Amino acid sequence: MSRIARRFEETRASGRAALIPFVTAGDPAPDVTVPLMHDLVDAGADLLELGVPFSDPMADGPVIQLACERALAHGTGLRHVLEMVREFRQTDTDTPVVLMGYLNPVERMGPEVFVNAAAQAGVDGVLMVDLPPEECEDLAGLLERAGIDPIFLVAPTTSAVRLQHVAAAARGFIYYVSLKGVTGSQSLDPAILGARLEAIRAISDLPLGVGFGIRDAATAAAVAQVADAVVVGSAIVRLAEQHPEAHGQFRAAAAAVVREMRTAMDAARTATPAAV
């Protein structure tokens, strides 16, 4: 069983929704990332999403665009991100790590080289924002053979026909993009969300993660009642923007946000177990 599947079994068994913080690797500086990953786990993260910096992050809002620019100013590229995962794995062999980014750095490294290196480093899932299942057959095959889950997005605009297609290709979990927009957009509406997730559950047994637009603990708690996992990105990355030099303060602030969300999510699930 993959680390991702095992982790979702654990969270399901304990009646919790998983919390998945996203941070851009190398932001605000390369040596912050690995200690930050450990901090986030200590604060209550169940899985980690690590953003691979890209010069043209088309699906991201201003917060993550700037994070990419800060990381690239230090030269943090895909090779370094894999090094970071390897370093993280030396002391944490349980927490799944998902790489999230854009295809071109992978193409440049070469899909085979990338997949081998990712597997060796201890990567558990790969989500390429600009790689829909239609274009992914080769890479998805390589990933699966290496024991890495190809993770795909489902959006509010995904038709029923496409949903079948995406669900068939997806492994690990399905990432539901909660709104039409880029990362960091306005808050989502949890009521509409529930109905959409039901439609996906009707055709897939995979856990459902929800991301884009989860800004605060209250929203995280509301989403935790209907989803298997809550992904929080811009709300954390924004803190790196506020503390570009003070790395200790950034790490503490990021951990505090995760802790607050964790508490609110668990309280919401305990209050209404029927929603699970």
The answer to whether residue 159 forms part of the interface with another protein (CB under 8 A) is yes
**214 or 268: CB nearest another protein:** 214
> How far is Cα 28 from Cα 237, in angstroms, rounded to an integer?
9
> How far is Cα 139 from Cα 145, in angstroms, rounded to an integer?
10
Stretch binding another protein (CB under 8 A), from 75-83, 88-96, 141-149, 217-225: 75-83
- What DSSP state is assigned to residue 76? -
> How far is Cα 143 from Cα 133, in angstroms, rounded to an integer?
13
The answer to whether residue 58 forms part of the interface with another protein (CB under 8 A) is yes
Stretch binding another protein (CB under 8 A), from 43-51, 180-188, 217-225, 235-243: 180-188
**97 or 166: CB nearest another protein:** 166
Which member of 39, 49, 124, 149 is catalytic?
49
The answer to whether residue 169 forms part of the interface with another protein (CB under 8 A) is no
The answer to whether residue 79 forms part of the interface with another protein (CB under 8 A) is yes
Among 155, 200, 252, 253, binds another protein (CB under 8 A): 155
Stretch binding another protein (CB under 8 A), from 41-49, 103-111, 197-205, 229-237: 103-111
Among 87, 130, 216, 260, binds another protein (CB under 8 A): 130
The answer to whether residue 156 forms part of the interface with another protein (CB under 8 A) is yes
The answer to whether residue 14 forms part of the interface with another protein (CB under 8 A) is no
Is 49 catalytic? The answer is yes
Q: Which residues pair with 149 in a beta bridge?
A: 125
Among 21, 51, 77, 211, binds another protein (CB under 8 A): 77
The CB density around residue 159, as the number of other CB atoms within 10 Å, is: 8
Is 260 catalytic? The answer is no
Q: What is 168-189 written as a DSSP string?
A: HH--S-EEEE-SSS-TT-SPP-
The answer to whether residue 185 forms part of the interface with another protein (CB under 8 A) is yes
The answer to whether residue 152 forms part of the interface with another protein (CB under 8 A) is yes
What does each C-alpha distance from 71 to 29, 42, 54 come to in angstroms?
Answer: 6, 24, 9
> How far is Cα 276 from Cα 261, in angstroms, rounded to an integer?
18
Main-chain phi, psi angles of 39, to 5 degrees? -60, -45
Smallest separation (angstroms) from another protein to the CB of 70: 13
Q: Which residues bind another protein (CB under 8 A)?
A: 53-62, 65, 69, 72, 75, 77-79, 102-109, 129-132, 134-135, 152-159, 162, 166, 177, 180-182, 185
Cite the active site residues. 49, 60
